[in-house]
Amino acid sequence: MNYTTLIPVMRRLALEAGDKIMEIYNSDDFDVKLKLDDSPVTVADEAADEIISDGLRAAFPDAMLVTEEQADSHMAQGDTFLIVDPLDGTKEFINRRGDFTVNIAYVENGMPLRGVVYAPAKERMFYTRPEGQSVEETGPFDKVAPGDVTPIQVSKPDNGALMVVASKSHRDQATDDYIGKYAVKDSKSAGSSLKFCLVATGEADLYPRLGRTMEWDTAAGHAVLLGAGGSVVRFDDHSLLTYGKAEFANPFFIAHAPGVELQKA
């Protein structure tokens, strides 16, 4: 994959999908349906998916593509592929809380090496540049020419006063019990893949996830965090979280800045 070609395409498609999502988000009403796993899906998920998947297939016809909203793509097998969650944080979208993102990533040999995370309601965009460094771009966003970008870097954590971020919609007692193993200065909640980005920018040191996620939920945020010097490991044995797993399902995991003294379960 030519990253110099890939990154502008992913960035443009994220912006186009974000525009469509915000058009629906700002409308008076929109339909909400339930998928077979009882998770919600809206017309915004479906419209954004069409924009992104059509654009990626046109630009990279030979690349394997996995996208949340197209069940037939979940049958693909391999460790190198494009992966999309067109609207991560659908519950945040439905409740008009703003913490939702467009996620597009490229996984190579099981690792998400390039990605873009765009939070249209919050006007925040994070992505990896072709050479691998992660940046945050500040708007207004032009689909052709990127605006001002700032390289981002994880924190140098103080293990006596850690900053922790956890899921807004899925935080539970098990998560709180695990966070309680650390000396925490402050804890915040966020939705969607923004949690990875908060670790990537140094706004948080640690993000534990003790709950079900799929690879399309995490790949783009994981790529942004890697490009900012961070890491994502399995919760059970602290080995690296990899991609291309059976049914694209993730185990529990911990995203963190190097230097955080990870605690066992």
Segment 188-246, tens digit of pLDDT: 988 889 999 999 999 999 999 999 999 999 999 999 999 999 999 999 999 999 999 99
- The whole-model pTM stands at 0.94
CA-only gyration radius of the chain, Å:
17
Pick from 83, 116, 151: which residue ends a domain? 151
Residues 219, 188 share a domain: yes
Strand partners, 162: 184
Residues 17, 113 share a domain: yes
Residue 36 structural domain: 3-151
Q: Which residue from 249, 253, 226, 258 is spatially nearest to 241, judged by alpha carbons? A: 253
**What total of structural domains would you count in the chain?**
2
**Would you say 90 is a known binding-site residue?**
yes
**Would you say 31 is a known binding-site residue?**
no
**Would you say 72 is a known binding-site residue?**
no
Residues 143, 73 share a domain: yes
CA angle centred on 257, ends 254 and 260, rounded to 5°: 80
Residue 106 contacts residue 222 (beta carbons within 8 Å): no
pLDDT band at 34 (very low <50, low <70, confident <90, very high): low
**Would you say 55 is a known binding-site residue?**
no
Residues 97, 177 share a domain: no
**Would you say 89 is a known binding-site residue?**
yes
DSSP state of 30: -
Residue 7 contacts residue 106 (beta carbons within 8 Å): no
Q: What is the CATH number of the domain that holds 243?
A: 3.40.190.80
**Would you say 85 is a known binding-site residue?**
yes
Here the tokens at position 193 are 């893949």
- 170 pLDDT above the threshold of 80: no
pLDDT tens-digit profile of 3-29?
999 999 999 999 999 999 999 999 877
pLDDT value of position 73: 86
**Would you say 136 is a known binding-site residue?**
no
